[in-house]
């Protein structure tokens, strides 16, 4: 009986195979990461869509009124917020969080109840209420709680909810101020709280750095750099207001002075 002459791989052949595997992994891993990010962004978009629909069902029960940001004076914070007010309609606390980021497990964060630190936020002064001042000086008049949804001009262009972030944590804040969130410092990514970058910085968690949003008419989509004005472009609020008008960004964010704008 003849013995078979078995030949194994040489060291060079093994190294070639390992190198090929490493090259394939380097090519595929970023693709997998992008696919995962896209899936999470899609989940965040779905959550926003459900919140938008719940807001309209709420309005049907409350004479066309938008859900309130909260009941507290604007210098204070207080539960219940919009997230709690919509719970009878959403029936799901989890949809109030940006699915592209980790969802905190505790019901309390540094003394704040869960509905104060959601990572989906309402457009406080552009959708759920408004300052009765002007773009140059929103605080020139008092804050007005509530709007009529059908009274908002070009509802399909008005953002109602977006993700936000309390930088350096895994939570956010339950509302954003349209007259600050639209005006961003693009020179850095913050590691602590900022009214200006609380929305802009959420792009880092989403595929293609596009931020998911839901509009006043409940349709959802993604936005990017184009809806924000940088501090370099507008070094002062007067310039910001002019740019907002020139680019028709007032329709997206809303402005102070009228429940329809």
End-to-end CA distance of the chain: 94
Number of structural domains, the chain? 1
For residue 155 the two structure tokens come to 């509802």
Strand, helix or coil for residue 119 = coil
Please report whether residue 258 resides in a domain. Answer: no
Please report whether residue 220 resides in a domain. Answer: yes
Residue 256 half-sphere exposure, CB side, CA atoms within 13 Å? Answer: 19
Please report whether residue 194 resides in a domain. Answer: yes
Please report whether residue 30 resides in a domain. Answer: yes
Range of the domain at 40: 11-253
The model carries a pTM of 0.86
151-163 pLDDT, tens per residue?
A: 999 999 999 999 9
Please report whether residue 2 resides in a domain. Answer: no
Q: Which residues pair with 161 in a beta bridge?
A: 122, 214
Please report whether residue 39 resides in a domain. Answer: yes
Task: Determine what percent of the chain is predicted with pLDDT higher than 70.
Answer: 90
Longest distance between any two alpha carbons in the chain, whole Å:
102
Q: Are 153 and 260 in contact (CB under 8 A)?
A: yes
CB atoms within 10 A of CB 225: 14
Please report whether residue 248 resides in a domain. Answer: yes
Please report whether residue 4 resides in a domain. Answer: no
For residue 247 the two structure tokens come to 């680019």
Asked if the peptide bond before residue 80 counts as cis, ω within 30 degrees of 0, the response is: yes
Does residue 250 register a pLDDT over 90?
A: yes
Q: What local confidence, expressed as pLDDT, does residue 37 receive?
A: 66
């Amino acid at each position: 009986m003849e013995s078979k002459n078995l030949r194994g791989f040489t060291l060079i052949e093994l190294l070639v195979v390992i190198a090929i595997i490493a090259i394939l992994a380097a090519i595929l891993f970023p693709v997998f990461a992008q696919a995962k990010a896209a899936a999470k962004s899609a989940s965040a978009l779905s959550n926003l869509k459900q919140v938008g629909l719940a807001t309209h069902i709420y309005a049907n029960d409350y004479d066309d009124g938008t859900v309130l940001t909260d009941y507290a004076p604007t210098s204070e914070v207080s539960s219940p917020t919009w997230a709690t007010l919509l719970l009878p309609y959403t029936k799901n606390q989890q949809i109030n969080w940006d699915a592209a980021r980790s969802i905190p497990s505790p019901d309390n964060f540094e003394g704040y109840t869960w509905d104060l630190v959601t990572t989906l936020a309402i457009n406080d002064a552009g959708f759920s209420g408004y300052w009765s001042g002007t773009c140059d000086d929103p605080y020139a008049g008092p804050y007005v709680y509530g709007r009529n949804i059908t009274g908002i001009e070009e509802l399909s262009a008005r953002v109602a909810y977006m993700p936000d972030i309390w930088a350096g944590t895994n939570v956010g804040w339950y509302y954003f101020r349209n007259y600050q969130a639209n005006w961003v410092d693009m020179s850095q990514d913050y590691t602590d709280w900022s009214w200006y970058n609380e929305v802009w910085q959420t792009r880092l968690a989403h595929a293609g750095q596009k931020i998911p949003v839901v509009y006043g008419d409940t349709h959802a989509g993604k936005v990017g750099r184009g809806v924000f004005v940088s501090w370099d472009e507008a070094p002062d609020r007067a310039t910001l207001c002019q740019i907002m008008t020139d680019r028709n960004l007032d329709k997206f964010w809303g402005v102070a002075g009228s429940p329809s704008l």
